[in-house]
Amino acid sequence: MGSAHFGLIGLGVMGENLVLNAERNGFSSVVYNRTYAKTEAFLQGRGAGKDIVGARTLEEFVAALERPRRILMMVKAGQPVDDTIASISPLLEEGDLLIDGGNSLYTDTERRVAQLESQSFGYIGMGVSGGAKGALEGPSMMPGGTRSAYDAIEPLVRKMAAQVDDGPCVTYIGPGGAGHFVKTVHNGIEYGIEQILAEAYDLMKRCGGMNGDQMADVLALWNDSEELASFLVEITEVCLRTKDPSSGTDLVEQIVDAAGQKGTGLWTVVSALEMGVPVPTIYAALNARVLSSLRPERLAAEAVLHGPGPHGVELGAPAEGLAPLRDACIAACIVSYGQGMALLQEASKLHDYGLDFAAIGQIWKGGCIIRARLLQRIQDAYTASPDLPNLMLDPWFAEQINRRLPGLRRIVAGAALAGIPVPCLSSTLDYIDSYRTGRLPQNLVQAMRDCFGSHTYERVDKPGSFHTEWLD
């Protein structure tokens, strides 16, 4: 009979850091990697002197674990997860538990939960956010699956998670793929905020003529405010201050302007489209990454497609934190969070997840990439009104949006006149203006749809569906 409390499959950087986290918190561990050389290197390096043992085979791995077995899989999403499940399932016994800690598509997790539970095994799809440092020191964890499966890992994950004033940054999210869906939306919000900060940087550089240190000084002011204080603003300041060792110039200017993505932003947008939830700020961020990958085409287009002549954008005074630009970023960040929360609300209804939005705000306050002081306000908003349809309708957030809108308008208008793309900022303004408009022009769209396709329409003055023979 094995004695290790916890098992890990997959010794990538995240896997290594999570098992070191578990061991530091008093959980003896056994690790397995597809190539044993990787296991040996870990045990002789970072794992040396720890209460961690290695296994050459899955049989050895399973035999080393106490019952019921708790096994965390940190393998690439998709087929590798299914392959790992297929390999280890014949070795498991009733009550044993598998945890997928990668960025899996939530519908895959739904299928795996049903499959494993039918074999009397537990299965948890757990989003883990915080990057390598967070995995080691304490991430935000978003576990979903059956409640009984979560109960079996709760003592472990509560100790491993980041700790904030009101508790650990982990909670039971909901059934099926709820945990992985919440992590997907977390990443979509992250896409939005990263692009918002990138647009601010572009405006400071191109319109303000500021260098990295000057921009970083502004970010430092932003990070000292309740509305923008966050991990992403903090690391943006660090990136802007960092110099290229070979030239001494700003390192960020030596980096190719083509951003990568791992799929979660796309999954957020696709899910939003399928569920009928508008997330234009998040979509604009995804689209900006896709467009950035067309670098050869953009370089060719720059020579033949001409922009406007020099045109200033009123960014404000650096000593005051570039107030209009700061206000634009505050409004856009609020909207990025709000669009993500609205998508979570719809998914909760559609899939009967029973999501606790105040609890989600709480577990995102520490450890994760989108951790920010603003999340306390989000937690407060959903504590006061669990069914709040949109974050902008909360009194505190409504006041923030109203106060920041003039700055957002000024920045978007100025950027348009200067020919500088600000897709997230402009999409945010369109979203707010659309959401606050009682009558939109889609009545004309409905008329056109009825004209060419007899799709019918509703009237404002009487109930029912109507059709007009427009072309006769």
User: Which of 38, 183, 205, 365 is flagged as catalytic?
Assistant: 183
d(CA 17, CA 129): 13
C-alpha dist (Å) from residue 114 to 126, 350, 377:
15, 18, 36
Cα gap 108→181, rounded to integer Å: 11
Q: Tell me which of 190, 194, 199, 237 is the catalytic residue.
A: 190
Q: Which residues contact 32 (CB under 8 A, 6 or more apart)?
A: 7, 8, 9, 39, 54, 55, 57, 58, 60, 61
Decide if 190 is catalytic.
yes
Residue 274 among the catalytic residues? no
Strand order in 6-9's β-sheet?
52-54, 29-32, 6-9, 70-73, 97-100, 122-129, 140-145
Q: Give dist(CA 382, CA 438) in Å, integer.
A: 25
d(CA 260, CA 239): 17
Q: 223: closest CA among 205, 253, 190, 197?
A: 197
Within 10 angstroms of residue 7's Cβ, the number of other Cβ atoms is 29
Question: CA 214 → CA 86, 217, 239, 319, distances in Å?
Answer: 54, 5, 12, 10
Contact 425, 328 (CB under 8 A): yes
Measure the CA–CA gap between 9 and 15, rounded to whole angstroms: 8
Question: Residues with catalytic annotation?
Answer: 183, 190
